[in-house]
Amino acid sequence: MGESVGTSVIDDAKMGKMVFEPILEEGVFRFDCSADARNTSFPSLSFVNAEKRDTPLMSIHKLPSYIPTYEHVAGQQIVYFELPAGTSFYGTGEVSGQLERTGKRVFTWNTDAWGYGTGTTSLYQTHPWVLAILPNGEALGILADTTKRCEIDLRKDSTVKLIAPSPFPVITFGPFASTIEVLTSLSHAVGTVFMPPKWSLGYQQCRWSYDSDLRVREIAKTFREKGIPCDVIWMDIDYMDGFRCFTFDQETFPNPKSLADDLHEGGFKAIWMLDPGIKHEKGYFVYDSGSEKDLWVQTADGKPFVGEVWPGPCVFPDFTQEKARSWWANLVKDFISNGVDGIWNDMNEPAVFKSITKTMPESNIHRGDAELGGHQNHLHYHNVYGMLMARSTYEGMKLANPNKRPFVLTRAGFIGSQRYAATWTGDNLSTWEHLHMSISMVLQLGLSGQPLSGPDIGGFAGNATPKLFGRWLAIGAMFPFSRGHSEKGTIDHEPWSFGEECEEVCRLALKRRYRLIPHIYTLFYLAHTKGYPVAAPAFFADSKDSQLRTNESSFLLGPLLVYASTTSDLGVHQVKHAMPDGIWMSFDFEDSHPDLPAMYLKGGSIIPFGLAYQHVGEANPDDDLSLFVALDENGKAEGVLFEDDGDGYGYINGDYLLTTYVAELKSSVITVSVSKTEGSWKRPYRRLHVHILLGEGALVDAWGTDGEDLQIAMPSENEVSKLISASKNNYKIRMETAKCIPDVEKASGRKGIELSGTPVDIKGGEWALKVVPWIGGRIISMEHLPTGTQWLHSRVEINGYEEYSGTEYRSAGCTEEYTVLDRDLEQAGEIESLKMEGDVGGGLAIERNISILSDNPKVFKIDSSLVARNVGAGSGGYSRLVCLRIHPTFNLLHPTESYVSFTSINGSKHEVWPESGEQLYEGDLRPNGEWMLVDKCLGFGLVNKFNIDQVYKCLLHWDFGTVNLELWSEDRPVSKQSPLLISHSYEVRRIM
């Protein structure tokens, strides 16, 4: 083992420099705190071959460029990497918020994060991986190879801090000259994405749920009648008999094989959901067979763990055991015989209802195989449960048909799960913020080894507006995985559901995607064989350009740059593009529209494209092939096209065709030819249509035969100038005459300032809040800016911060429309206070004034009052007893590490943990003017201060990953002169 020079040993190796050894290949190093730590670390579940992580390369003597330090504190191993000033951080897997992760902190703990926000610190997948872009453009990858909860702290400039239970090794990749080299090296460790079947690159339509086979057929028929491309229809949990996996509802889905056959005849594939929660019910064949084989996750006392999910009480397969994975795979194999083309694994964090932690107890036992780590508690295997389930599902599909490529989609995953499944970015919201964030989330997954991903287009929770849906599908049509999905209770979210203008934008966007499928399929072959990303950030074009490092509205598909607008008031032609250096040629398919992204091809590149098919299956080898060509400053260009049968494994044995096309300008003639080929697949006889891009969308084209040289005479400079001028004019006309999607997002209040479908932002000092006046004046986001912590985040319709006009849950006040009475604007147009009023009936109104204190920017204050405005006969008059009930629902970012702390009026001290359930404090047991929600993981507490003379009761209620800290006034009649008042404030305090 190599050892770093100058190791400091303090208090029996409690801190010092880490020891290292080269592994895997040149430029890759493993770091451990000591030789003993190396020998006692758990097996790798991220590496394809765990032995390679544990086998040093004796032939390499090069030292690592950066040697981390470590310290041990209370059983935790803390690792520090100090990198050059100006380093930018990316990666960290499936995360929300900004593209550049510098200044952020992530906790790797797979969580059912429905309705997550920009500051949510744990989502559905775990990627303990940081990609650092150094100031000189070089890249370094850092992997904390642990399955346990890991904190990735990037808040200190140019410093990576990793914290997880000891011991765990850290693997570095590079620094290498480019990010691509780092990702390629990472793929040699954790594997590449499975080669997707070509049909899975088409558009896919889903909903929770299409409630019958009749509705599914109707959806499929409408796609074909309207000429909107689509390849896949998805079936959510309602196809099952009482949510029992591997069953079908005999009334609504009586013959799944017949449904699948009909879908196949229409050119569609069918994907069906399977969850890990198996109904605890004797006589149910899945439960009975799993019980007979003793396959369930166990409690600490050795009994099968039973938790609540969709079917009610459920048991959970222990996928850490090979015998359980084999059992599941065989169930999948039989399930496929119903015409199933793909499987969707959801809820596999695993999510458990009626649990504060949203998952099973950490004390549960998994009887894992020795090569995975043996018998361990759930804390050890939680983050890999979803990946192991996806692996079992993938293997079951291969058992069912070894000649077809499986397609599995998983919600939960771990770094390396791309070997078995695609992923989507979970239960997002139908908001412009989530549209914008979806680009960064897809890119971060690609930078963390998972290139096959995409969001729920249109947003899962809430109702999209026509403009939001059209813009989202226009962008989502360019993502690696393209699927529309929405939750039960929302309006229809199909491409034709929002009016003719939106439907046309969706049709144009999807036809554009289908033209580019030959290019996208080629990118997936390169991802599968070389570990390249499919969608990459714009800075891949020039990693030294600091402006590109924070560009969140564009991305690369190989040499193709996609530039979008993610704001409601600006079309793509109205957005200023920050273009990389070099030659970038704009082009389209004569389909430019303000709501469609702009496309540019890098000079020196060639990309293939085809016809706009209604579905991928309509393509055949004899169709014309087209190439876009953008010459570089030397008059040259090159590009590749991968082709095979679109499914199966023939490509592994050489049954494919990989063609490299080149173009070169000499003496005003461009020659396009094939420079080399790979594979034994016979080139189809087909026409070749070449488009030479001239700039501003102008082009010259020519026809030939694929495989033969094609010569194209370049126009004169004067003719080129005329073509460019005409193209610019045509583009301008298309933009001006396009039928834009109507803006129907605004609604007017009854009085005061006009309300908007976009939340009102209040920002100042250390706080950024979002308020929706049109539904109960609800505060839906409460972000503390210095720590990047989202203490409160909800969807528009429920939770968040609410007020009631009575003691009963959801009494008047939480759903009524509030009118904005006043708002204060500071510099840069930011609102620092907002005053609202809601008419809650019976002559009563709730007033609320939210303000960020200018003299104390750490605090924001809420003054609430319940007052009688107009009390008439029959309303109970002024004798009516009412209560002002403050009802905030706070997120528990780390439920097992959160509690509420306060000192009562009588001097008693309290630490109230989630296990306590609901607690009501009255009289001298009330908190003496403040209580605090503490998160031990974060090291911070949210302090809620209030006027004790106004608060008569305090209610503490723990729920599914949330806690309510409620303040109740006294019960009494109110009038204009004697309203009920509660003044309170919030600030964040560091916990030592």
**Rounded to the nearest 10 degrees, what angle do helices 517-530 and 500-515 cross at?**
50
Which of 34, 235, 32, 201 lies closest to 619, judged by CA? 201
Q: How far apart are the C-alpha atoms of 391 and 317, rounded to whole Å?
A: 13
Q: How far apart are the C-alpha atoms of 153 and 1, rounded to whole Å?
A: 28
Q: How far apart are the C-alpha atoms of 417 and 452, rounded to whole Å?
A: 11
Nearest-5° Cα angle at 64, 63 to 67? 120
**Would you say the C-alpha torsion 646, 648, 649, 654 has a positive or negative sign?**
negative
pLDDT in the model for residue 796: 64
Q: How far apart are the C-alpha atoms of 506 and 165, rounded to whole Å?
A: 48
Q: Which residues of the chain have pLDDT under 70?
A: 1-13, 612-614, 617-622, 745-758, 795-798, 825-831, 871-879
Q: Is 807 helix (H, G, I), strand (E, B) or coil?
A: coil
Name the residues annotated as catalytic.
346, 349, 427
Enter the tokens of residue 572.
Answer: 């793509």
Contacts with 402 (C-beta within 8 Å, 6 or more apart), sequence order? none
Q: Is 443 helix (H, G, I), strand (E, B) or coil?
A: helix
* Phi, psi for residue 733 in degrees, rounded to 5: -65, -40
Nearest-5° Cα angle at 233, 195 to 205? 90
Whole-angstrom CA distances from 790 to 97, 527, 650, 800, 875 are 11, 35, 49, 12, 41
Whole-angstrom CA distances from 116 to 122, 165, 230, 427, 703 are 9, 26, 28, 7, 51
* Phi, psi for residue 418 in degrees, rounded to 5: -60, -15
* Phi, psi for residue 917 in degrees, rounded to 5: 75, -135
DSSP letter for each residue of 681-739: PPPPP-EEEEEEEEETTEEEEEEEETTS-EEEEPPPHHHHHHHHHHHHHHHHHHHHHS-
355 backbone φψ class: left, alpha, beta (φ>0; ψ -120 to 50): beta
Rg over CA atoms, the chain: 29
- Whether the Cβ atoms of residue 532 and residue 526 lie closer than 8 Å to each other: yes
Which of 622, 629, 576, 621 lies closest to 598, judged by CA? 576
- Whether the Cβ atoms of residue 616 and residue 514 lie closer than 8 Å to each other: yes
The amino acid that residue 123 corresponds to is L
Q: How far apart are the C-alpha atoms of 236 and 488, rounded to whole Å?
A: 10
**Would you say the C-alpha torsion 594, 595, 601, 606 has a positive or negative sign?**
negative
Side-chain half-sphere of 21: how many Cα atoms within 13 Å? 18
Contacts with 838 (C-beta within 8 Å, 6 or more apart), sequence order? 776, 777, 813, 816, 817, 818, 819, 845, 846, 848
Q: How far apart are the C-alpha atoms of 95 and 75, rounded to whole Å?
A: 27
Strand 278-279's sheet: what is its strand order?
278-279, 312-315, 307-309
| pTM for the structure as a whole | 0.91
Evaluate the omega torsion of the peptide bond into residue 979 and state whether it is cis, within 30 degrees of 0: no
Whole-angstrom CA distances from 155 to 106, 262, 786, 787 are 10, 54, 10, 9
β-strands 483-484, 456-457 pairing: parallel
Residue 923: exposed, middle, or buried by beta-carbon count in 10 A (0-12, 13-18, 19+)?
exposed
Place of tokens 């064949």: 285
Question: Cβ atoms within 10 A of the Cβ of 466, count?
Answer: 20
Which of 508, 515, 443, 497 lies closest to 474, judged by CA? 508
pLDDT in the model for residue 975: 86
Enter the tokens of residue 425.
Answer: 């970015």
